[in-house]
Structures are given as structure tokens and as C-alpha cells.
Structure 1
């Protein structure tokens, strides 16, 4: 083959490579929100470059499933020897908790007040109540509240066998997972009566034990004003407040929340829920 023919063939090959490179490069540019091309880090996998949109696309601006850093895998829940009693953190933060529900007579009123002030709380539910009111569990989860395990029948755990305690906990966890879409991450012993088995079994089921700092004693029906007064006197950074939305006539608890919640917010308190930190 002659020398000029070799040059001609090389020019053809280079021209073809340049054309392929141009097409490939077109796939490296995506459109930003300001309708200007933005240089991407690498070509996206999937469709050929020539099929990429030439205009801004809401779909293209959304994160793609499977990309980004991997999710953190929860570690094993530690076995504690006493329940957590208060919230740690900065600022004037408090946690509101409600036990023994859900009860269709009182829980909706509490949820309505929390929604009105855009506040999240914790509900420690009993399995036998939750099983009959899955709609309320779903509402709690949908509105951002934390649903915890409060056993199935609200027994005194210190008088039960290990197998009985496990049944009380696991059955309730199953109902919560069915109604909320995920298992509970928090557990509270009825009457605040903890024992070694409760801590161990709760940890095995992936739950942290949570007690309380201030008890409103609303279950004694002391009067709406008395409940409000106890909340105001007990309010402090890190406090976990105990009230009830079931287990008896809780109309005073519902009315009291309507009074003390806006007062807490006006006083600069941030009502929040605790977050699990896995190690």
C-alpha cells in the first residue's frame, strides 16, 4: 500500500473517532434549572446519548434511585440498665408523650391540636387498643409522630415470665409495623416498672427504653387547670412529659393540651421527638 493511501486511511479513522467522541460528549451535559447546560461528572448510564432531552426536565432533576451514598445500616440496639429519662441536646427542647392509646374518643382531639401547631409527639400504644384502631396508627405515622411500644395489655412486667414479656412486646410491635409501615424503635414499660428482661427483650426487638421526666398525673383526673399548672412548673430543657390519651376519661388531658401547648411555644420551647443514633 502506498504512503499517500496510508495517510488517507488514517485521516478517515481519525475523523470517525472524532465523530464518535462528539456524540459521546453530548451525553455529558445536562440541563440545570436556569436552562443552561451544566457539566456533569460523568455520562449517565442508560439511554443512548442522542436520546437525552434538549430542554429542562423535572424528571431529570430528581434524584435517581440507586445513586448517592449507601444508607447507614442500623447497629445492634444496646441493652441498657435504666430507661432514658430526658432529651439531650441544645436549646429549650421538650418531648410530649401520650400513653395507653389509641382511643377514638380522645386521641383524635390530641392529634388535631398537635397538627394545628405543627408539633410532633410520641405515642406509646397498647397492642390491644392499636389492633382495633389501625386508622389512628396510620394517622400518627402520616403526621410525623413517633409510635412506641407500650405492651399488649399494659401489665406489670415485673410479675411476668420472660416468655410472657416477649409476647406482650412482640405482638404489639407487629401491630405497629402493620399500621405504621415500620416497627417501633422505642419502648415504655407500663407503670414505669422495668426489669432486666424488659431491657434485654426490648433491645432484641430493636427498641430503646424511654421513661419520663415530668408526670402530669392526668390519669387521676385532677382537673384541666391542675394538669396545665404541672406542665408549666415542670417545663425545662430536655424534659420528657408524660400524659395519656386512653385508659379512662381523658377529656381533661385533651383540654389541657390545648392550653399548655401554645404557652410552651410562646415561651420559646421547641417541641420535638428524639432521634435514634446508631453506632
Structure 2
């Protein structure tokens, strides 16, 4: 097989732009500040876990990690549940009406988050949801629903209508059809959507920064800001926190990789 030299060069540069920062961050998490600035690209002299102990113990990142797990998993599950139900309903509506409703729901993707910050803050303050995990879950679900409907709705509209008709003939109601027929057939798309939502909501900084004020409720992205001071940043501890925060995303992708790849390619092979 012939390899295009220009394409190979571009892909090599792209790979280096991704790999080099990752290597610096991982190696830096095992170094002291002096070692990091002396040789940022070199492996550490010893793979000491002192920084990890400091971050998880003295810096209370374990609490922030637990908050992120609870908020993100709850948000993803609720968003997928509501989004898949909405997408299923839209897929069952024939003709232009289904597309109009679909377009209206995904219109939320075009609204910048910054445009809603003040009204959202006022509303959450009136409802008593500031500085609460429930508030973060609600805002994550609201923001993630358009994305979920966009991905799942587009996929469910490609499912053969014969599947719905056969289910109706067998006596299954709409919810039974959704659970027993549509969701198993949509598994790759659901997995792709789950990973997409997980990455977005796990790394979310804007809303925790806006709504959370107490240390006990901080999520990981917000807690990582504590490593940055006005005049000094502890880069080894910051890199350690970044590594810890990245582990769940890497694990989720490895576990769902097969479904994720199938999900993002499924729409291209269905007519």
C-alpha cells in the first residue's frame, strides 16, 4: 500500500502535538517543581507517588473526584433517558412535523451558554439550587438534552419502520417497543452519546464556577483551579490532578470504544 508522504507528515505532526503534552503532564506528575523546569520532556528520576498522595490527601481532590462522579454519572443517565425518549417520540412522528419538532429541540445547541448565565443564576437563586449538586445535575441535563436528541434522533429516524409495525402487530405498546426494540437497536448510538456527554459534563467548568461556592461541593475542574495562584502555580500538583481527572474518561472510552466507533459510523451506512 502506497503512503502519501504529505499525509504522513501531517499525521505525524498532529500525533506529536497530542502525544508530547500528554507525556509532559504524565512525567511531570512524578517530578518536583525543580525537576520539571530543568527537564520537562525527560522521564522522572524516580516514579514517586508523593504528588498523588498530596493531591488526594492534603488538597482534598478525593472529595472533588467523588462530586464529579456523582454529578456526571447522574447527569449522563438522566440526559440519555430523557433524550432517548424524546428522540423515540420524534422518530415515530411521520413527515415534516417530526423534523420541525426535532429542529426545535436541537435549537438549544445554537444558544451560547454565556447568554443564559445571568437568568440561570437568578432562577437557581430563587429555587434555592445554588451551591448544590442537584443544581449542577439539572443544568447539565438541560444543556445536554439538545445534543442527546440531535445524535439519538438522527439515528432513530434511520431505523426501519417495519420494526415498529412488527412490534405493534405483536401487541407491544409504545414504551415496550421503545425498551425492547428501539433501545437494543440503538445501542451503538447510545454508547457514542454517553461518551460524548460524559466528556463534556466531566470537564464542565463554567457552571460549577458560577453555581458552586463551598469547597465540599466542588467538582474536579473547579478544584484544579486551586493549584493556580495569582503569582505562582504548582505545576507538578496541577499535572497530577489533571492525570487523576483524565483516568475516568480514558477508562470509559476503552470500555465503550467498540460501541463508540460503531455509533459514529452507523448513520453513514443506513439509508
Q: TM-score range by the shorter chain?
A: under 0.3
* TM-score relative to the length of structure 2: 0.22
Question: Which structure is larger by alpha-carbon Rg, 1 or 2?
Answer: 1
Relative contact order (C-alpha < 8 Å, sep 6+): which is higher? 2
Question: Larger % of strand: which?
Answer: 1
Question: Larger % of helix: which?
Answer: 2
